[in-house]
């Protein structure tokens, strides 16, 4: 076995989830997905495709109809270059995670230096490690004062200082899992200009682009590198159907690439998965075409979930938490509860509450807990906070 594979960390979120195996009474907020089933009309499109006998291989880069639908969707959100412009820059991938891995396979040589902004979804670090890169992390900092105390914020100067001509790739995920941090367009411009000077690739994970609550952009979506970059910039943007269309289990995403890279990524897709399943692509095409029936209501519901959970958590003694600006996670710490992995396991066993430990996302996030608030029934969130409160009370009394 390759050394890096042997060294890959097992998922700490799984480690906590294993504590609750076989327990139906645990309220589970540990994984990054909504508990809402994919809308019926999307499922129907997959069924119709299978009934029509679409059981064969397809184009490496994805069905033409799907790429056209993604192009129209992208055109609608970003920069008005025309639908035709986007089609030559798209690769349909087997989930966002596969798209990110393909980007790493395309760009990263063994021994290259990769910079990752952390806390981050662990896969973003692991993928470059698998390619044999040396990964350096640039941690967000926790704001300690003011109305947004507990928010994780970017030290732009520290990030730019960490990116040198030796840096092959910067990996940045905003809106961020787990912190809810988002990048401003001005920060994206500074990062892009700096990376143009150093010759560094930017791999922008924008899978939470639509799950944005700040109301300060014309399209309602989070600021995107696609809005500031030119087509030939060294920028790859990763997207997914998982979050905005409630399709986590379908395993479908896409990359937006500089045109010169598209065919190379197509070759790599051949050797990884060959293509995404056709019936899944048919479902995704319909999801995009009728996206207005899904995403806006989902975002409003998530806003409601956030606005239900965050004040309740903040009212608990010792809890530090800033309202997340994007994504679907509340990321918080509890004073005196610093061993978050142990706390998360105890919460499962003793309180029936399933959260993810911050240490899964970076060493700086040790002591923090992530709560995925994408819950169809918001009373589950209220119940979860009650369980946490009772556990804290019992714990503080030493019982």
Residues contributing to the site for ligand PMP (CB under 6 A): 32, 95-97, 121, 173, 177, 205, 207, 240, 242, 248, 253
The pairing of beta strand 201-205 with beta strand 167-173: parallel
Shortest distance in whole angstroms from residue 254 CB to ligand PMP = 10
Shortest distance in whole angstroms from residue 317 CB to ligand PMP = 30
Environment class of 99 (CB within 10 Å of its CB; exposed 0-12, middle 13-18, buried 19+): buried
Q: How far is it, in rounded angstroms, from Cα 175 to Cα 335? A: 26
Shortest distance in whole angstroms from residue 66 CB to ligand PMP = 15
Our CB check for ligand PMP shows the closer of 101 and 312 to be: 101
Our CB check for ligand PMP shows the closer of 123 and 262 to be: 123
Q: What is the token pair recorded at 139?
A: 């941690």
Our CB check for ligand PMP shows the closer of 67 and 385 to be: 67
* Nearest residue to ligand PMP on Cβ basis: 96
Environment class of 231 (CB within 10 Å of its CB; exposed 0-12, middle 13-18, buried 19+): middle
Shortest distance in whole angstroms from residue 288 CB to ligand PMP = 15
* Residue 156 host element (H or E): helix 156-162
Shortest distance in whole angstroms from residue 96 CB to ligand PMP = 3
Query: Residue 269 — φ and ψ, nearest 5°?
Result: -60, -40
Shortest distance in whole angstroms from residue 336 CB to ligand PMP = 29
Cis peptide before 119 (omega within 30 of 0): yes
Q: SS in 3 state form for 286-301?
A: HHHHCHHHCHHHHHHH
User: How many H-runs (helices) and E-runs (strands) does the chain carry?
Assistant: 15, 15
Our CB check for ligand PMP shows the closer of 351 and 374 to be: 374
Our CB check for ligand PMP shows the closer of 176 and 337 to be: 176
Our CB check for ligand PMP shows the closer of 250 and 332 to be: 250
Shortest distance in whole angstroms from residue 3 CB to ligand PMP = 26
Our CB check for ligand PMP shows the closer of 235 and 312 to be: 235
DSSP letters of 30-92? Answer: -SSS-SSPPPHHHHHHHHHHHHTT--S---TT--HHHHHHHHHHHHHHTTT--HHHHHTTEEE
Our CB check for ligand PMP shows the closer of 95 and 324 to be: 95
Q: How far is it, in rounded angstroms, from Cα 319 to Cα 312? A: 10
What is the number of alpha carbons within 13 Å of residue 363 lying toward its C-beta? 3
Q: How far is it, in rounded angstroms, from Cα 71 to Cα 307? A: 33
Shortest distance in whole angstroms from residue 248 CB to ligand PMP = 5
Our CB check for ligand PMP shows the closer of 171 and 334 to be: 171
Our CB check for ligand PMP shows the closer of 202 and 334 to be: 202
Shortest distance in whole angstroms from residue 185 CB to ligand PMP = 20
| Residue 292: C-alpha distances to residues 214, 288, 313, 335 (Å) | 19, 8, 32, 42
Q: How far is it, in rounded angstroms, from Cα 61 to Cα 71? A: 13
Q: Report the SS3 class of residue 263.
A: helix
Shortest distance in whole angstroms from residue 102 CB to ligand PMP = 12
What is the number of alpha carbons within 13 Å of residue 7 lying toward its C-beta? 10
């Amino acid at each position: 076995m390759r050394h890096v594979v042997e060294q890959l960390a097992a998922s700490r979120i799984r480690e906590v989830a294993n504590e609750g195996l076989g327990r139906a009474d645990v309220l589970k907020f540990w994984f990054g997905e909504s508990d809402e089933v994919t809308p019926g009309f999307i499922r129907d499109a997959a069924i119709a495709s299978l009934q029509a006998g679409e059981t064969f291989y397809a184009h490496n880069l994805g069905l033409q109809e799907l790429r056209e639908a993604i192009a129209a969707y992208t055109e609608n959100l970003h920069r008005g270059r025309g639908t035709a412009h986007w089609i030559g820059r798209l690769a349909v991938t087997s989930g966002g995670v596969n798209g990110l891995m393909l980007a790493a396979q395309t760009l990263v040589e063994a021994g290259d230096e990769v910079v990752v902004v952390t806390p981050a979804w662990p896969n973003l670090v692991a993928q470059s490690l698998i390619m044999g890169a040396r990964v350096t992390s640039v941690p967000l900092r926790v704001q300690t004062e003011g109305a947004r105390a507990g928010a994780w914020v970017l030290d732009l100067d520290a990030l730019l200082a960490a990116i040198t001509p030796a840096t092959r790739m910067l990996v940045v995920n905003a809106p961020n899992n787990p912190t809810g941090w988002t990048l401003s367009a001005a920060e994206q411009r500074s990062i892009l200009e700096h990376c143009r000077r150093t010759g560094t690739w930017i791999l922008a994970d924008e899978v939470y682009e639509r799950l944005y609550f700040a109301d300060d952009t014309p399209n309602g979506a989070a600021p995107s590198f696609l809005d500031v970059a030119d087509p030939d910039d060294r920028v790859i943007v990763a997207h997914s159907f998982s979050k905005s269309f409630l399709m986590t289990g379908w395993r479908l995403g896409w990359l937006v690439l500089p045109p010169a890279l598209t065919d190379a990524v197509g070759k790599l897709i051949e050797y990884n998965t060959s293509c995404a399943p056709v019936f899944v692509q048919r479902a995704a095409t319909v999801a995009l075409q009728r996206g207005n029936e899904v995403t806006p209501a989902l975002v409003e519901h998530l806003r409601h979930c956030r606005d239900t959970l965050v004040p309740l958590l903040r009212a608990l003694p010792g809890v530090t938490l800033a309202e997340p600006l994007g994504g679907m996670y509340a990321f918080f710490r509890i004073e005196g509860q610093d061993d978050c992995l142990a706390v998360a396991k105890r919460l499962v066993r003793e309180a029936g509450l399933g959260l993810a430990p911050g240490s899964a996302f970076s060493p700086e996030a040790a002591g923090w807990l992530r709560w995925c608030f994408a819950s169809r029934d918001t009373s589950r969130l209220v119940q979860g906070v009650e369980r946490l409160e009772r556990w804290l009370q019992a714990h503080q009394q030493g019982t």
